[in-house]
Structure 1
Amino acid sequence: MQLVVERVRADPSAHVDVVEAAAQAVVQLLDDERARTGEWAAEVRHWREGWIRKVVRRADGARWEAVQELPGVTVAHGSARVRAFVPGPLSPLPKALGKLQVGGTEFPREKGSSADGARVDVEITPLAELSSGKTAAQAGHAAQLLYEQMDEAAREAWRADGFAVRASVPAESDWAEPGEAVRVIDAGLTEVDGPTETARARLRA
């Protein structure tokens, strides 16, 4: 699954808004009727049955507008806009996506989350330095895993909230106690060395 973050050079989005918007976009796409039973269902099912990978790219100006024509879901959250696309092969990519950069996707980190009322917490590991792009991908994966294990009543309540999440980096002592959270173990292809727990998601108490 490709995700694209809008980048406005003169007024960049906040890192935490990007991460939260990415998680929302992933789940909104999976919950979309077109992904569940409609025209996107075959592609989404094939992806979920195989290697569930997410790649985050960035786009500005005309390139951001161009990717809106590709099948997917765009989420606006705080200062950020992120579009999740219907999963497909890594090669060849649609030309509008293939032009976009992956590495070095970084956004300012001064701001904390404003999503205090969200039903879901997404925690990012405090034990590794992850770029904004990598963090967004891991948050999206954690939110997906939680969505997939929920019963329909819990999904409906989260759906009514737009699948909002609150992202944070816990203290190392808190990270040592995962509790009942779903856990993402990244394969270690980029930014981390070998299999690494990168993110967790849980319903807020």
Structure 2
Amino acid sequence: MQLVVHRDRERPAREVDVAEVAASAVVRLLDDPRSAPGGPWHEAVRTWRDAQIRKLVRRADGKRWDDVQQLPGVTVSREGPEGSGVAAVRAFVPAPVRPLPKALHKLQVSGTQFPADGRSRTEDVVVAVEVAPGLGISSGKLAAQCGHAAQLAWEQMPDHVRERWRADGFRVRLVFPSASEWAGKDRPVTVTDAGLTELDGPTDTTRAWWG
């Protein structure tokens, strides 16, 4: 699954907002009627979910951001606090990495970074995602890991919880626990990154829970 993050050079969004919006975009695509049996996206989504749920995060601005809106997918955006930009992410229907549509292929993958400025402002959510302390990963990698955690939560939670989350617009709150808090909790969802990019070897990166 390709994710494209909008980057405004003049007023960049906060990293925490980008990661939360990315998680929501992933789940909204999975929950979209077009991804359900009989829908035009169903076979692509089913094939991807049955294999490795890899996500690649790219960045775009200006015309390039406008261009990718024409490709099948779901865009989620949210205003940031005063002084920061709008966080916007488009999740695309899963497809082979090669060949990619030209509008996606020319977008940069590595080095996607946003200001790590402040904590989440999202309150009263159904689902929270927490990030392992000390990872040292890029904003793009963080967005992908949060998307993984949200997807696994959506797949594993009871139906009645999923209904409440759907009614809430699949909002997510991002939490940054201390090392002792991370070690002392047991969550229903844990994402273990394979260590192919940015991390050395398999690493627990994010966890999710619902209330």
Q: Decide: shared fold, TM above 0.5.
A: yes
SS of the aligned residue for 1:166 comes to strand
Equivalent residue, structure 2, for 1:89: 96
The answer as to whether partners of 1:20 and 1:77 remain within 8 angstroms in 2 is: no
Unmatched 5+ stretches in structure 1:
none
The answer as to whether partners of 1:58 and 1:102 remain within 8 angstroms in 2 is: yes
Q: Distance in 1 between matches of 2:141 and 2:167?
A: 28
TM-score (norm 1): 0.97
How many residues are matched?
204
TM-score (norm 2): 0.95
Q: Distance in 2 between matches of 1:106 and 1:118?
A: 26
Equivalent residue, structure 1, for 2:74: 73
Q: Distance in 2 between matches of 1:65 and 1:51?
A: 29
The answer as to whether partners of 2:14 and 2:117 remain within 8 angstroms in 1 is: yes
SS of the aligned residue for 2:74 comes to strand
Q: Distance in 2 between matches of 1:120 and 1:77?
A: 17
SS of the aligned residue for 2:58 comes to strand
SS of the aligned residue for 1:76 comes to strand
Provide, for residues 86-144 of structure 1, a one-character-per-residue CA deviation record: whole Å limited to 9, x for no partner. 00000111100001001110001112211022211101110310110000000000000
The answer as to whether partners of 2:130 and 2:174 remain within 8 angstroms in 1 is: yes
The answer as to whether partners of 2:191 and 2:206 remain within 8 angstroms in 1 is: yes
Equivalent residue, structure 2, for 1:33: 33
The answer as to whether partners of 1:25 and 1:74 remain within 8 angstroms in 2 is: yes
The share of aligned pairs that are identical, in percent, is 58
The answer as to whether partners of 2:24 and 2:76 remain within 8 angstroms in 1 is: yes
Give the 4+ runs in structure 1 shifted more than 3 A.
none
Correspondence 1:110 to 2:111: no
Larger deviation, residues 129-138 vs 177-186: 177-186
Q: Distance in 2 between matches of 1:127 and 1:39?
A: 41
Matches for 1:1-205 after TM superposition, within 5 Å: 1-37=1-37, 38-78=39-79, 79-204=86-211
The answer as to whether partners of 2:187 and 2:207 remain within 8 angstroms in 1 is: no
Q: Distance in 2 between matches of 1:197 and 1:34?
A: 32
SS of the aligned residue for 1:113 comes to coil
Unmatched 5+ stretches in structure 2:
80-85
Aligned Cα root-mean-square deviation (Å): 0.9
SS of the aligned residue for 1:108 comes to coil
